[in-house]
Structure 1
Amino acid sequence: MLGIAHLPFPVLYGLAYGLYGLMAYVLRYRQRVVLENLRNSFPEKSEPQIRQISKDFYWHFAQVMVEMLKLAALPAAELRRRVRIHNPELISGAFAEGRTVLALGSHAGNWEWILPTGALEFPGRTYGVYKPLSNPFFEDFLLRLRTRTGAQLIPMRDTLRDLVKRRKEGRVLSMLTDQAAGPEDRPYWTQFLHQDTSFYSSADRLASQFNCPVVYVNITRRARGYYDLTIRPLHDGSTPLDKDAYVVTEAFARHLERDIQAAPASYLWTHRRWKHKRS
């Protein structure tokens, strides 16, 4: 994989075109899941429109895959040039007060470029919560990929312990919170893209307990290989927060819903996002 990472971007996008054809037309990679998710999320769209979004998604996904590989050999200066950060002061402003900022992201755009870019913008202060993989090869590869610019990773199960340990350190803690939360995860249920949807609600609990500011992070492609990373406020960390009202998680869901509706092909539709049902 490292050898592929050293290939120039034009060659990698040529490989991406081959991946696109393989996933969309030969293997039809999770096509039934993709189409079902799109039909349920956009009931107002016609079947030809749904099919077109599906094709656009596979092309987007193929580009993200080669960009993820490229990250293994991409110089820090080049990564900074390719990702513009908007409103970084919403995060850095809390550092002087010794606060941890929770940054909530999703599997939209090129999500794997968020943490390495954040580590360059906030050196020594960027942490990411992750769920360890069962495959040792991919676990090691992704750990190296995500930490190569200086970010530190925290297993999901250790998040609370880490916040207690570092509660007075000024830093940012990145979390992808759009996965399908199961019954054991104490999910928050809301209407999202016309469907009952379960979200992880840990951000509300952590922000309430540790007085953390919370921001929403979205990364969108502005050109091939170039992105805009936009930070928006969700909670200031000072206003009293009722963890059982799920104000933060609801605000995150609304921001994400608007961004998906604006660029539907850029979301990761291959996951069974709605596999759980409200009890």
Structure 2
Amino acid sequence: MKKTPIIKPYPWYYRPLEWLLLGLSSLPLSVLYGISSGLYLLMAYVVRYRQRVVLENLRNSFPEKSDAEIAQLARQFYRHFSEVMVEILKLATMPAAELKQRVLFRNVEVMERHFAQGRTVLGLSSHAGNWEWVLTSGATWLSAHTDGVYKPLSNPFFESFLYHLRTRTGSGLIPMRDTLRDMVQRKGEVRVVSMLSDQAAGPEDRPYWTTFMNQESGFYTSAERLASRFHCPVVYVSIQRLRRGYYEIILTELYDGDAPLPAGSFPITDAFVQQLERDIRLFPADYLWTHRRWKHKRPALESKA
């Protein structure tokens, strides 16, 4: 049975902010994109939001590009990021029918055939395109229930507000720390468990190290372990922006849930990394470059092994 995360009440003085955000969300997207232009100028040229991180990530990922090309790519990213911010806010009031028109799912049969067999499917996605629209739109496209694994926020108001955005079309949320317990309790349930698998795994997470975007990168191996233990098929969720406010989700099977997974290797994670790098190189401005993806370094002992 589905267990709803406990959402703590937030102080009364957040109410004016809630009314403001809901009021903004009720505006047409065309108006919100005008606001996003102001956000773009603010982030890119005034506040210079995480500019050092953005430029460092881009230079390390694309060493073949000149400084001018990197600067142009950074501007394109800030433009896209500002538009994603207002699109996420729009989720608070956007009708499910409109969301379905704006996010087109391709190859849904990749998941549907596993649903017909009564299976849980793991969906691996990333911080590309508009990642917040994926879970919510998936609930309108797929015949099975959709759950997203997430990291709860410490601020009670923003935790409550984002919970509302992410679940208003029928999706559920699973706190990251409760993932294994949830899988055990709901074993055999027909659903999708969606995971943003490009997060930076720390040393305490026993990450799988590989080369990603020209840099040594540590990846969580939870999808590999869950797929092996519960015999879950794994699907890569590619998020591609068609144009402003419209996205295409392409589903690609990485693992069928039946073939034995060799001990000591991580073929699912390897396949995810290859697919994600391909997407980033095709649409570099659409990735979340403010994310400190490479903040952890491989331990020296592992490097020598």
SS, match of residue 88 in structure 2: helix
Q: In 2, are the aligned partners of 1:124 and 1:150 still within 8 Å (CA)?
A: no
Q: Give the superposition deviation at 1:88.
A: 0.8
- Counterpart for residue 7 of structure 1: 27
Q: Give the superposition deviation at 1:137.
A: 1.3
Q: In 1, are the aligned partners of 2:207 and 2:219 still within 8 Å (CA)?
A: yes
- Counterpart for residue 107 of structure 1: 127
* Separation of aligned partners in 2, 1:242 and 1:146: 35
32, 36, 42: which one aligns with 2:62:
42
131, 135, 140: which one aligns with 2:151:
131
- Counterpart for residue 295 of structure 2: 275
236, 244, 247: which one aligns with 2:256:
236
TM-score normalised by the chain length of structure 1 = 0.98
Q: In 1, are the aligned partners of 2:217 and 2:294 still within 8 Å (CA)?
A: yes
* Separation of aligned partners in 1, 2:98 and 2:290: 30
Q: In 1, are the aligned partners of 2:108 and 2:142 still within 8 Å (CA)?
A: no
* Separation of aligned partners in 1, 2:144 and 2:285: 34
* Separation of aligned partners in 1, 2:279 and 2:142: 25
2:256 is aligned with what amino acid? Answer: D
- 2:285 equivalent to 1:265: yes
- Counterpart for residue 9 of structure 2: none
SS, match of residue 169 in structure 2: coil
SS, match of residue 148 in structure 2: strand
SS, match of residue 21 in structure 1: helix
173, 180, 183: which one aligns with 1:153:
173
Identity of paired residues, percent? Answer: 64
SS, match of residue 93 in structure 1: helix
* Separation of aligned partners in 2, 1:276 and 1:70: 34
210, 213, 222: which one aligns with 1:190:
210
* Separation of aligned partners in 2, 1:254 and 1:128: 22
* Separation of aligned partners in 2, 1:43 and 1:25: 24
* Separation of aligned partners in 1, 2:126 and 2:259: 25
Q: Give the superposition deviation at 1:96.
A: 2.1
Q: Which runs of 4+ in 1 moved over 4 A?
A: none
* Separation of aligned partners in 2, 1:14 and 1:167: 46
Q: In 1, are the aligned partners of 2:144 and 2:192 still within 8 Å (CA)?
A: no
Please give the root-mean-square deviation of Cα atoms over the aligned residues, in Å.
Answer: 0.9
* Separation of aligned partners in 2, 1:243 and 1:20: 47
* Separation of aligned partners in 2, 1:2 and 1:133: 20
119-128 or 53-62, which deviates more: 119-128
* Separation of aligned partners in 2, 1:92 and 1:166: 19
- 2:41 equivalent to 1:21: yes
* Separation of aligned partners in 1, 2:87 and 2:23: 14
Q: In 2, are the aligned partners of 1:208 and 1:242 still within 8 Å (CA)?
A: no
Q: Give the superposition deviation at 1:122.
A: 2.5
* Separation of aligned partners in 2, 1:213 and 1:243: 18
| Equivalences, count | 279
